[in-house]
Structure 1
């Protein structure tokens, strides 16, 4: 009974709340899909929007002692989201798999993401076992 009284006081039983039609329909800004790249993107440029996620998936086998390492990059353009995650191809200990490095585009600009795979006893000046780079252009 109270709800009916409130409805009458607010304009009767035909009162319906509508959004202002002059303002146009509400439009949500779409969130960009994450971009996932692998070794086939080596040396390429990827174009991202601010807030978009970039995942770099590289072959890896930590049981060999080799580790991917990330060189310095412009953190005003891209932000690394935590440590890389290793995803083995099967459950057997020592199995190879994929290391996934996740970044978020944090500001407009361009930066280069360089990763190198280094052996456990790597000495400066020795070339890395593997190298991967991608240029990230954020708009």
Structure 2
């Protein structure tokens, strides 16, 4: 059997698998983009303004676990332009649509040691995965 006969079917199988996986990343920056519809395999990058030096942090209240999978912990980045210690930055969260269905993603901005105090802000988004 020739090498071409072996490689051609394998190549077509790989191309088909790649074509079925949505590869684009969705940048989610405000609730006006919600509700959101995703395909299985798509990723969401959620970026929220934050300033940890105030004691307030974005906390994951509802990760939409029925349809989303977290791709790691929160990543904080500060603006290099200001050069000021304690300046505001961004909190980045990444999720991947894992299974068809409906879910709810919710984060709250509050001081972790005072959960009984109402959040200063809430980010809430209904997610549908197809």
Scaled by the length of structure 1, the TM-score of the pair is 0.73
Q: Which runs of 5+ in 1 are unaligned?
A: 1-9
TM-score by length of structure 2 reads: 0.78
Quick check: which one's helix share is greater?
2
Deviation, structure 1 residue 122: 1.9
Deviates more, 1:72-81 or 1:96-105: 72-81
Structure 2's unaligned 5+ residue stretches are none
CA contact (8 A) 1:70 1:116 kept: yes
Offset at residue 74 of structure 1 (A): 3.9
> Relative to structure 1, is the Cα distance of residues 130 and 42 closer, same or farther in structure 2, using a 3 angstrom cutoff?
farther
The partner residue of 2:72 within 71, 82, 86 is 82
Aligned residue number for residue 60 of structure 1: 50
More strand by share: 2
Pick from 26, 29, 37 the counterpart of residue 28 of structure 2.
37
Number of aligned residue pairs: give it. 120
Please tell me whether Structure 1 or Structure 2 has the larger radius of gyration of its CA atoms.
1
